[in-house]
Amino acid sequence: MGNWLRNLHRKKLLRRKFYCTQAEERKSKVKDKSIQFLFKYGAIALLAIIIIYFSTVSSSFLTYGNFTDILRSISIVTVLALGVTFTLVVNGFDLSVGSTMSLSTVVTASLMVWYDMPLWLVLILPILVGAAVGLLNSFLIVVLGIPDLLATLSSMYIIAGLHRTYTEGYSIYNYMPLTSGGTAIGELSEGFLWIGQGQMAGLPVPVWIMLILILVSYFVLNHTRWGRILYMTGGNEEAATLSGVKVKKVKCAAYVVSGIFASIAGILFTARVGSGQIDAGAPLLMEAVAAVFVGYSVLGAGKPNAVGTFFGAAVIGILLNGLTILNLPYYAFDIVKGSVLVLALAVTYVYAKNRMSASSG
């Protein structure tokens, strides 16, 4: 009789444990599905909520003029963020893009204002400068083995000091007085200013340049052998090396591309504002990084991608545009940018942790 009661009690305990385990598994599955849904559609839902809200509080929000203003405002940030995207694809990170953009801005302006150079040189030389910055980062990261965050943080300060020294701390504008005496001999030409201020087929020229660079980046990353190699390198360097990929050269190329994109952003900025402003790229660094990480989650991509980066920049641009319409003080915008970045990082890393747990389980 005693054994029978003990067996009955043991069966009850096992049955209870079984049902508890099933309940926990159901809760875990619901949680996993919720995280996956949030990761896949969260950014799109956030954008929809932002648009609906600002449309209800301002009649001027959903207008063609405001739409083009938003696209124009995000064009430079998107170009800058595309460079960061390439470094993240190879599991790197480039914090120097803001300083590189600032250097490109003052170099571009000085070539026309100080030296009165032709337009083709004004467009080519800053891009070469950006490529040189990419090579510097590659040397620090790939050759010396310095972690990417520390290396690009160091180069960020080096480049910032370089462009301030080059300009002696002054912005560059047409016929400016020179510290050596006299005035500058040149000016930013109308043809150059058209790149930043002109329109073509109803859209600002910077928007067309942005769209072209997005399409080129998308095609390279998703439909070329080099794009597959980039993702392979970022996914597993050891496996990529065993497959015959020259990982060091691939990472170097990614940082050079990042420097080139930052330089293009600097050229666009100079043409847009009509002067070479020192530290022009510093405020855009956070926006570019936030755009890339928001782009991780667009339609569940789960990786850096060109279209997602544009979408992330659009989310931030629309949000800032709406807050401007509501007359929010400009000094509060950094709170919004930081909050968007934190939200994007939280969703991305929770999803990544969840995937790792699922694969290990």
What is the domain-level CATH number for residue 297? Answer: 1.10.3470
What pLDDT does residue 32 have? 58
Q: Which residue has the tokens 């007085």?
A: 177
What pLDDT does residue 58 have? 86
Kindly tell me the sign of the dihedral angle through the C-alpha atoms of 222, 206, 70, 286: positive
- Residue 72 pLDDT greater than 90, yes or no: yes
- Does 340 map to a domain? yes
- Does 251 map to a domain? yes
The mean pLDDT of the chain is 87
How far is the C-alpha of 294 from the C-alpha of 315, rounded, in Å?
8
Q: Per DSSP, what are the bridge partners of residue 69?
A: none
Instruction: Report phi then psi at 3, rounded to 5.
Output: -65, -40
Share of the chain above pLDDT 90, in %: 61
Q: How does DSSP assign 5-50, residue by residue?
A: HHHHHHHHHHHHHHHHHHHHHHHHHHHHHHHHHHHHHHHHHHHHHH
What pLDDT does residue 46 have? 78
- Does 9 map to a domain? no
Kindly tell me the sign of the dihedral angle through the C-alpha atoms of 268, 274, 280, 284: negative
Q: Are 298 and 307 in contact (CB under 8 A)?
A: yes
Shortest CA distance to 83 belongs to which of 353, 317, 306, 283?
A: 306
- Does 1 map to a domain? no
Can you state the angle between helices 119-138 and 148-167, rounded to 10 degrees?
140
What pLDDT does residue 135 have? 98
- Please tell me the total count of domains within the chain: 1
- Does 319 map to a domain? yes
Which range is least confidently modeled, 38-42, 79-83, 170-174, 256-260?
A: 38-42
**Higher-pLDDT residue of 286, 262:** 262
- Does 207 map to a domain? yes
- Residue 356 pLDDT greater than 90, yes or no: no
Confidence band for 266, pLDDT divided at 50, 70 and 90: very high
**354: its two tokens:** 């969840």
- Global pTM? 0.88
**Higher-pLDDT residue of 305, 12:** 305
Confidence band for 136, pLDDT divided at 50, 70 and 90: very high
Length of the chain (residues): 361
What pLDDT does residue 327 have? 86
How far is the C-alpha of 164 from the C-alpha of 90, rounded, in Å?
31
273-288 residue pLDDT tens: 999 998 899 999 999 9
79-118 residue pLDDT tens: 999 999 999 999 999 999 999 999 999 999 999 999 999 9
Confidence band for 73, pLDDT divided at 50, 70 and 90: very high
From residue 74, give the alpha-carbon distance in Å to each of 219, 240, 254, 317: 21, 35, 23, 6
Q: Are 256 and 132 in contact (CB under 8 A)?
A: no
Q: Per DSSP, what are the bridge partners of residue 339?
A: none
Nearest 10 degrees: Cα torsion 327, 333, 335, 336: 80
What pLDDT does residue 292 have? 92
Q: What is the residue range of 323's domain?
A: 43-356
- Does 149 map to a domain? yes
Instruction: Report phi then psi at 199, rounded to 5.
Output: -130, 150
Q: Which residue has the tokens 């080129």?
A: 216
200-222 residue pLDDT tens: 999 999 999 999 999 999 999 99
- Does 6 map to a domain? no
